[in-house]
């Protein structure tokens, strides 16, 4: 078994551990944010962690009323003209905590006197050293180059922080069901075979989500680039309609990541439009795929806001299946190292 596949399988246990062990630090961070009363958050991250930041944006804006800006690290490093962060809380997400540019965003925020928070797998990292508060992911070492368990653990910490800032009994109960939902997602692995088959000869793919699952589309799109070498166009449904849909010709594969909730109607409408154009529609989500169309029904049992966790796991498994079908070693994709030290 590849490390990639093995680490995908660890995610239910990791989620249990995060729920048990990160709660204390998350509560401290929530108290600090409440005390600072920032106008909004600035989140700094790269790669998969940046998709966790997109997840956090929808969560903190939608549940907590806090506007979220994603940091442009080059302004802190190459250009040396960072924005005025004094009315913001600056939160960094980085599994290794070693990306020089993310560390520099937090260092600058600290110099400006902003509240700073690091979410990282390595509490001894340079990033953790710069931040006032550190939430350790505690996933254990992640050895496969494409992130899996650190991604879902980061989402979970974000959801716990949103909940700590505005507690809701229903969300508290749903958070406890996340490990079980991840187990259920892993259990659909065999049902992904028709999707693997449909994509085994593909070179291009659109991956679409909406709302809370925009982050999932971005992350699954990245996984499929990293470990299956597909060029993916990952977008929100709304943005896809604003131009990129022109790439869809008959047979063009489109993966829809769906969850029951306010966005479902729009996804269904788009799916109809894609079928009219004779695209090859593949679905993973809460609904049952139409007869004869490759798709996996993933009854997550979670409120929409938490569905990005099991949906990401299904996307990881699809990637693992495709990597195997194409003879790619997902643990060591060409040209990637585990820690990207970028300026």
Mark 218-257 with x for binding to its own copies (rule: CB under 8 A) and - for no binding: ----x--xxx-xxxxx--x-xx-xxxxxxxxx--------
Which of 75, 260, 299, 325 binds its own copies (CB under 8 A)? It is 75
Torsion of CA 192, 196, 197, 203, to 10 degrees: 160
Examine residue 336 and tell whether it contacts its own copies (CB under 8 A): yes
Structure tokens at 234: 């990952």
Distances (CA, A) of 190 to 92, 186, 193, 258: 36, 9, 6, 19
Say how many residues touch its own copies, by CB under 8 A. Answer: 73
Q: Is the dihedral of CA 246, 250, 252, 256 positive or negative?
A: positive
Examine residue 36 and tell whether it contacts its own copies (CB under 8 A): no
Examine residue 12 and tell whether it contacts its own copies (CB under 8 A): no
Is the Cβ of residue 105 or residue 178 nearer to its own copies in the bound state? 105
Q: How far is the CB of 31 from its own copies (least distance, A)?
A: 19
Tell me how far apart the alpha carbons of residues 133 and 26 are, in angstroms, rounded to a whole number. Answer: 9
Tell me how far apart the alpha carbons of residues 261 and 18 are, in angstroms, rounded to a whole number. Answer: 26
Examine residue 67 and tell whether it contacts its own copies (CB under 8 A): yes
Examine residue 34 and tell whether it contacts its own copies (CB under 8 A): no
Examine residue 325 and tell whether it contacts its own copies (CB under 8 A): no
91-120 positions binding its own copies, by CB under 8 A: 101
Examine residue 48 and tell whether it contacts its own copies (CB under 8 A): yes
Is the Cβ of residue 99 or residue 179 nearer to its own copies in the bound state? 99
Mark 77-96 with x for binding to its own copies (rule: CB under 8 A) and - for no binding: -xxxxxxxx-xx--------
- Among all chains, which residue has been given the structure tokens 């716990």? 160
Which of 275, 277, 326, 338 binds its own copies (CB under 8 A)? It is 277
Longest alpha-carbon distance in the chain? 59
135-174 positions binding its own copies, by CB under 8 A: 146
Q: How far is the CB of 146 from its own copies (least distance, A)?
A: 7
Structure tokens at 135: 């939430």
Is the Cβ of residue 241 or residue 299 nearer to its own copies in the bound state? 241
> Which DSSP string do the residues of 285-341 spell out, in sequence order?
ESSPPPTTS-EEE----S-GGGTHHHHHHHHHHHHHHHHHHHT--TTS-TT--SS--
Is the Cβ of residue 23 or residue 238 nearer to its own copies in the bound state? 238
Tell me how far apart the alpha carbons of residues 67 and 40 are, in angstroms, rounded to a whole number. Answer: 5
Which residues, listed in sequence order, are joined to residue 205 by a DSSP beta bridge? 232
């Amino acid at each position: 078994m590849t490390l990639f596949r093995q680490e995908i399988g660890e995610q239910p246990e990791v989620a249990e551990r995060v729920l048990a062990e990160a709660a204390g630090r998350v509560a401290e961070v929530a108290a600090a944010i409440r005390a600072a009363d920032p106008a909004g958050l600035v989140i700094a991250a790269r790669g998969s962690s940046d998709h966790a930041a997109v997840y956090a944006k929808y969560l903190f804006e939608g549940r907590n009323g806090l506007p979220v800006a994603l940091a442009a690290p080059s302004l802190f490093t190459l250009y040396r003209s960072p924005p005025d962060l004094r009315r913001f809380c600056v939160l960094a997400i980085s599994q290794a905590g070693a990306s020089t540019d993310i560390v520099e965003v937090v260092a600058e925020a600290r110099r400006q006197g902003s509240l700073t928070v690091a979410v990282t797998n390595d509490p001894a990292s340079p990033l953790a050293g710069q931040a006032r508060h550190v939430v350790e992911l505690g996933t254990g070492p992640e050895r496969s180059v494409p992130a899996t368990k650190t991604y879902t653990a980061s989402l979970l910490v974000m959801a716990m922080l949103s909940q700590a800032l505005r507690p809701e009994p229903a969300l508290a109960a749903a958070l406890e069901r996340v490990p079980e939902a991840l187990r259920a997602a892993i259990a659909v692995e065999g049902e992904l075979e028709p999707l693997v088959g449909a994509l085994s000869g593909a070179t291009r793919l659109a991956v679409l989500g909406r709302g809370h699952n925009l982050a999932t589309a971005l992350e699954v799109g990245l996984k499929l680039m990293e470990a299956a070498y597909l060029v993916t166009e990952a977008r929100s449904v709304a943005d896809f309609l604003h131009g990129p849909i022109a790439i869809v010709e008959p047979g063009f594969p489109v993966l829809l990541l769906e969850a029951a909730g306010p966005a479902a109607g729009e996804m269904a409408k788009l799916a109809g439009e894609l079928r009219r154009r004779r695209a090859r529609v593949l679905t993973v989500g809460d609904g049952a795929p139409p007869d004869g169309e490759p798709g996996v029904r993933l009854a997550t049992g979670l409120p929409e806001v938490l569905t990005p966790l099991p949906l990401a796991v299904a996307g990881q498994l699809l990637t693992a299946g495709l990597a195997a079908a194409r003879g790619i070693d997902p643990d060591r994709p060409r040209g990637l190292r585990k820690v990207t030290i970028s300026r």
